[in-house]
Structure 1
Amino acid sequence: MGFVMTMSAANSLIKIFGELGMVEELLWVWRRMKDNGVEPSLYTFNFLLNGLVSSMFIESAERVFEVMENGKIRPDVVSYNTMIKGYCKAGKTLKAMKLLRAMEIVNLEPDKITYLTLMQACYSEGNFDSCLALYHEMGEKGCEVPPHAYSLVVGGLCKEGKCLEGHVVFENMIQSGVKANVAVYTTLIDAFAKCGKMGEAIELFERMKTDGFEPDEVSYGVIVNGLCKSGRLDEAMEYLKFCRANEVAVNAMFYSSLIDGLGKAGRVDEARTLFEEMVEKDCPRDSYCYNALIDALAKCGRVNEALALFRRMEDEGCDQTVYTYTILISGLFKERKNEEAMKLWDMMIDKGITPTAASFRALSIGLCLSGKVTRACKILDDLAPMGVIPDTAFEDMITVLCKAGRVKDACKLADGIVDRGREMPGRIRTVLINALRKAGNADLAMKLMHSKIGIGYDRMGSIKRRVKFRSLLES
């Protein structure tokens, strides 16, 4: 038994099927409308567009939109917003931006939804400049700026370290009558703290409380992190006491900031006490907490304790990161436990953890200081197929050899680099000259500066040979 397809029935069905993601049924209704001679209205088109976009049928939505542009019923702001939303969801932000500009051509004013959709997409892609430009455009056009738009702009500016600019937007938000929230305050406090402006961060933290907002565990965490980074550990510990006394949850970030700060200040036992306290407080320990304590132990010569913690980390199922290995490799070399350091390096590679420039630097410096320069070069060659090519690896090795007074090894390495075509000779000369000067070998630095070593050639009959760096020590 059939039924009569009316405009009202069609609109209701298309809207419902679109919301449920039932695209086949939605298109069936569209075809029945045509069969029954029911002309779609603007609402029908918009319901259809929304249904297609919600189910990510972007190309189909594009075709419907083109029909509207070329037909009797032209797209309105809702139509454009729907297509902009679709493009943004599909990662086609440039196409979405073009639609914004197309609205101006057909004399349609974008609304706050248009701008907010585009700003969210730009923010997600890390394109904070475009996000800021859209915010300014809203202001110029007298368009209402919704609270979330302010949050995106403040967040974007803060991520780029522009805390003062972020603060200006924050004040504009307050003056516009838009109520702030804990998240916006926390973002701005964190930015000030990371810029080293702890006075401003604490002032804003107190203002948040005065304005009637209760700081959460993240807010306390960013304040404590900033205090620890700026060496104000006793103040940071006072915040911990306050949170304990007032039943404010203390998260892993809070603990890792304190553990790291205490560790760097040489207060390793206090750091360890806090680390153990996390178990009592049912606060799961993450890689940051482990790495902070392992770093503190390794740097103060307690490398065996650091290794025990490393094994415990594995037992608890906590990810051992490349940073964990880097800390331990460096610590083991400092304690002259070279083979153990090499075993850790091999373990890291075997586990499929990709080395970083910092991890290779720790390894190469350790090997160079133990007289194994060739081995360091061999490992560097092995890294290339993995896509790890530390830019300053040779410079770091030459510098550390010169500082250790091993100028002969540094020259041998420099010759090896040039012979293998791995670096520009001029750059190596500069590194070696600077390294010699810093190591107190000013005479050799001057000799190298005024010689042909590394850049000139000696002729013996028809044979042309580059002047080697090793000739620096021969005369």
Structure 2
Amino acid sequence: MSRGFSTRLFNICITSLCKASKLERAEAIIIDGIRLGYIPDVVTYNTLIAAYCRFVGVDAAYSVLYRMKEAGIKPNVITYNTLISGATRDCLPTRSLDLFEEMLQVGICPDAWSYNTLMHCFFKSGRPEEAYMIFLDMISRDLSPSSTTYNTIINGLCKTGNTGYALRLFRNLDGHGFHPETVTYNTLIDGLCKSGRLGQARRILKELGESGHAPNIITYTTVMKCCFRSGKFKQGLEIFTELKSKGYACDTFVYCTVISALSKLGRIREANAYIDEMERVGIRLDIVAYNTLINAYCKEGKLDIAFQLLNEIEKSGLQGDEYTHTILVDGLCKMGDIDAAIRHVQYMEMSGFGSSLVASNSLIHGLCNVGQVDSAITLFNGLQWKDSFTYSSLLHGLCKVRRYRTAFRIMLACVRDGIRVLTSARRAVLDGLRSSRFYREEKKLKSAIHMAKSLRC
């Protein structure tokens, strides 16, 4: 057996272990392989670096780079691209840039993937100006932008609230020698929809149909969701009708989106008709679809239908998950049926779902809304895990019954422990202290908040 062939098999083995997140085993195999004469190459270490980036973190992945150099194996552009991707996944723009500069220092020329990943990292971190500077640097190095480059920039601009700039870039793509693809249109349409520019999104959809590229199921679904979210239910249903008339195969997500919208309109008969249609075309409702429907009915206060769906889940052989029951708890709380919500939380615990933080947060919020603040405090104190919503819900509840000093003590502890609460909760506590003339407590809390901000900076 040749050494080259042996190394390929060796790398396949390492790749399989890394995909299964068995990194310690992969490390052991590398050591054993070296003893048996299987010499690792750059592919071996790149595979290991990618796995560490994915399952552990970029710091652990970077430590592999030292061992790689000690073994006499030079890193290549893929090595650094993988590390930059890892830093991007963790939203570490400074670290990404440091890795990029290190790559240049060791004489490795970045490729389009390097720049695309780096730009994505800065866009993801909310720093579009720096992302655009990276794009200009790419151009200055005579690297031709790819479709991924432009799609990354348009997506990044949209997600950082610069949809107008994204639209202008889109209009000038032909001047850059790039003809937009369907994915480019979809990216822009999604950005326009999320920024509330539905009319513009529909115009781009029309342009896509005239461009020679066919809209796909993602295009239509994006616009349809935007219509429903904006309260343009008639337009959303028209998009759905057009989608079906063009012969696109609607999946579970599309049907559930429409059923959810019809439920909000109170058009239950039509919603049920589409559920029946899903069954006729062979689409079996999965737990995600059921959760979508249950959530829609709970938001409309139709808890009887939501619980009927829960029974249907059990009859169909599926099992409701933690999210299913959490939706129901939240629905019961919003309807003011706190006793039923408490019983359902107890049912969750007895059924092996454990204690759901989201369900507990809903219950705390519900207890506060009906004036049972002491019960909410008892539940709060008994929770092993708490997040910002847990604290915020209790703080709002305490302020609602004018227990500002208790709210002050909890808020002060949050600030000192580095626990962030919603801005509205913090404002409610400060306003309450001021209106009740607890000026000393207000001053002390403001001082603590100011100090905490200074330390974070």
Do these two structures clear the TM 0.5 threshold for a shared fold by scoring above it? yes
**More moved, 60-69 vs 232-241:** 60-69
Is 1:291 the counterpart of 2:256? The answer is yes
- What is the deviation of 1:179? 0.8
In the alignment, residue 275 of structure 1 is paired with which amino acid?
F
CA distance in 2 between partners of 1:447 and 1:116 (Å): 52
The code of the aligned residue for 1:257 comes to: T
Q: Secondary structure at the match of 2:187?
A: helix
Correspondent of 1:396 among 355, 358, 362 = 362
Question: Shift in Å at residue 255 of structure 1?
Answer: 0.9
1:53 alignment counterpart: 11
2:139 counterpart of 1:181: no
Instruction: Report the counterpart of residue 218 of structure 2 in structure 1.
Output: 253
* 1:8-407 mapped onto 2 (5 Å cutoff): 13-15=2-4, 18=5, 48-50=6-8, 52-54=10-12, 56=14, 62-63=31-32, 65=34, 80-88=41-49, 97-102=62-67, 110-116=75-81, 119=84, 122=86, 126-127=89-90, 129=92, 132-159=97-124, 162-318=127-283, 320=285, 324-333=289-298, 337-348=302-313, 351-356=318-323, 360=325, 362-368=327-333, 370=335, 372-384=337-349, 386-387=352-353, 389-400=355-366, 403=369, 406-407=370-371
Q: Deviations over 1:315-355 (max 9, x none)?
A: 44446466644554354356554322212234446623423
SS for the counterpart of 2:204 is: helix
- Residue 227 of structure 1 and its aligned partner are, at CA, apart by 1.0
Distance 1:51 1:339, change over 3 A: closer
Q: CA contact under 8 A between 2:182 and 2:213: conserved in structure 1?
A: yes
- TM-score, structure 1 as length reference: 0.67
The 2-side partners of 1:55 and 1:334 are apart by 50
Residue 428 of structure 1 and its aligned partner are, at CA, apart by: 9.1
Do 2:50 and 2:82's aligned partners in 1 also have CA atoms closer than 8 Å?
A: no
CA contact (8 A) 1:332 1:340 kept: yes
Tell me the alpha carbon deviations over residues 391-429 of structure 1, each in whole angstroms, 9 at most, x when there is no partner.
2534534544655xx43xx358548748x94589xx999
Paired letter, 1:391? L
- Displacement of 1:143 in angstroms is 2.1
Separation (CA, whole Å) in 2 of partners of 1:422 and 1:261: 38
- Identify the range of structure 1 (322-331 vs 224-233) with the bigger mean alpha-carbon deviation: 322-331
Alpha-carbon spacing, 1:243–1:298, altered in 2? closer, same or farther (3 Å): same
Structure 2 CA distance for partners of 1:300 and 1:164, relative to 1, 3 Å: farther
CA contact (8 A) 1:322 1:355 kept: no
Supply the distance in 2 between the matched residues of 1:157 and 1:428 (Cα, whole angstroms). Answer: 31
Structure 2 segments unaligned to the other structure (5+ residues) = 16-25, 408-457
Q: For residue 52 of structure 1, what is the amino acid of its counterpart?
A: F
| 1:81/1:113 contact within 8 Å kept | no
Shift of 1:208: 2.8
- The one-letter code sitting in structure 1 at the alignment partner of 2:213 is V
Q: Is the 8 A contact 1:154 1:170 kept in 2?
A: yes
2:257 is matched by which residue type in structure 1? A
Question: Which residue of 2 is the match for residue 435 of structure 1?
Answer: 397
Deviates more, 1:153-162 or 1:235-244: 153-162
Please say if residues 190 and 223 of structure 1, whose CA atoms lie closer than 8 Å, have aligned partners that are also in contact.
yes
Instruction: Please give the per-residue CA displacement for 1:349-399, whole angstroms capped at 9, x wherever unaligned.
Output: 66234232xx55542343245553222112212334544643253453454
Q: Which runs of 5+ in 1 are unaligned?
A: 1-9, 19-47, 70-74, 439-443, 451-475
Identity score, percent: 24
Distance in 2 separating the partners of 1:54 and 1:201: 42
3-state secondary structure, aligned to 2:244: helix
Counterpart-to-counterpart distance in 2, 1:86 and 1:333? 46
Q: Is the Cα–Cα contact under 8 Å of residues 224 and 240 in structure 2 kept in the other structure?
A: yes
Alpha-carbon separation, structure 2, partners of 1:429 and 1:131: 34
Equivalent residue letter for 2:158: A
In 1, Cα distance between equivalents of 2:123 and 2:41: 31
Post-superposition offset of 1:181: 0.9
Give distance in 2, aligned partners of 1:103 and 1:429: 47
Deviation, structure 1 residue 186? 0.9
The separation in 1 between residues aligned to 2:335 and 2:79, in whole angstroms, is 63
Pair 140,364 (structure 1): closer, same or farther in 2 beyond 3 Å: same
Letter in 1 for 2:178: F
Secondary structure of 1:445's aligned partner: coil
Q: Cα deviation per residue 1:138-193 (whole Å; 9 max; x = unaligned)?
A: 12334211222223333444455554443332222222111111122112211221
Distance 1:318 1:96 in 2: 43
**Structure whose residues are more often helix by fraction:** 2
Letter in 2 for 1:222: T
Q: Letter of the aligned partner of 2:89 in structure 1?
A: G
Question: What TM-score do the two structures reach when normalised by structure 2?
Answer: 0.69
SS in 2 for 1:249: coil
Q: Deviations over 1:37-84 (max 9, x none)?
A: xxxxxxxxxxx5445324549666645646889xxxxx9xxx652441
Whether the aligned pair in 2 keeps the contact of 1:196 and 1:230 (CA below 8 Å) is yes
User: Which structure has the larger Rg over C-alpha atoms?
Assistant: 1
- Shift of residue 210, structure 1, vs aligned partner: 1.9
> Does the Cα contact within 8 Å between 1:163 and 1:195 map onto a contact in 2?
yes
- Looking at structure 1, the residues matched to 79 and 299 of structure 2 have their Cα atoms a distance apart, in angstroms, of 58
Partners of 2:155 and 2:187 within 8 A in 1: yes
Tell me the equivalent position of 2:427. Answer: none
Of residues 330-339 and 247-256 in structure 1, the stretch that sits farther from structure 2 once superposed is 330-339
- Kept in 2: contact 1:103–1:109 (CA 8 A): yes
CA distance in 1, matches of 2:90, 2:9: 29
1:317 and 1:287 mapped to 2: Cα distance? 10
* Structure 1 CA distance for aligned equivalents of residues 204 and 343 of structure 2: 50
**Residue 10 of structure 2 contacts residue 33 of structure 2 at CA under 8 Å; is this kept in 1?**
no
